[in-house]
Chains A and B, each alone.
Chain A
Amino acid sequence: GESVGLHLPTLSVQEGDNSIINCAYSNSASDYFIWYKQESGKGPQFIIDIRSNMDKRQGQRVTVLLNKTVKHLSLQIAATQPGDSAVYFCAEKDSNYQLIWGAGTKLIIKP
Chain B
Amino acid sequence: ETGVTQSPTHLIKTRGQQVTLRCSSQSGHNTVSWYQQALGQGPQFIFQYYREEENGRGNFPPRFSGLQFPNYSSELNVNALELDDSALYLCASSLGLGQSTEAFFGQGTRLTVV
User: A interface vs B, CB < 8 Å?
Assistant: 31-32, 41-46, 49, 51, 89, 91, 93, 96-104
* B residues contacting the other copy or chain, number (CB 8 A): 27
Select one of B42, B56, B97, B105 contacting A45, CB under 8 A.
Answer: B105
Chain B residues whose CB sits within 8 angstroms of the CB of A45 once the complex forms: 2, 105
A-B contacts, 6 listed (Cβ < 8 Å): A32-B100, A43-B90, A43-B105, A49-B102, A101-B43, A103-B42
Contact between B106 and A100 (Cβ–Cβ < 8 Å)? Answer: no
Residue in chain B with minimal CB distance to A36: B105
List residues of chain A with CB within 8 A of the CB of B108.
42-43
Contacts of B35 in A (CB 8 A): 99
Give complex CA distance A46, B97 in Å: 17
Closest to A99 in B: B45
A69–B2 Cα distance when bound, in Å, is 35
Closest to B42 in A: A101
The reply to whether B42 and A89 contact each other, CB–CB distance below 8 Å, is yes
Chain B residues with CB below 8 A from A51, complex form:
100
Whether B33 lies near A98 (C-beta < 8 A) is yes
CB distance from A97 to the nearest CB of B (A): 5
CB nearest to A102 among chain B residues? B42
In contact, B103 and A46 (Cβ under 8 angstroms):
yes
**Which chain A residue shows the least CB distance to B9?**
A41
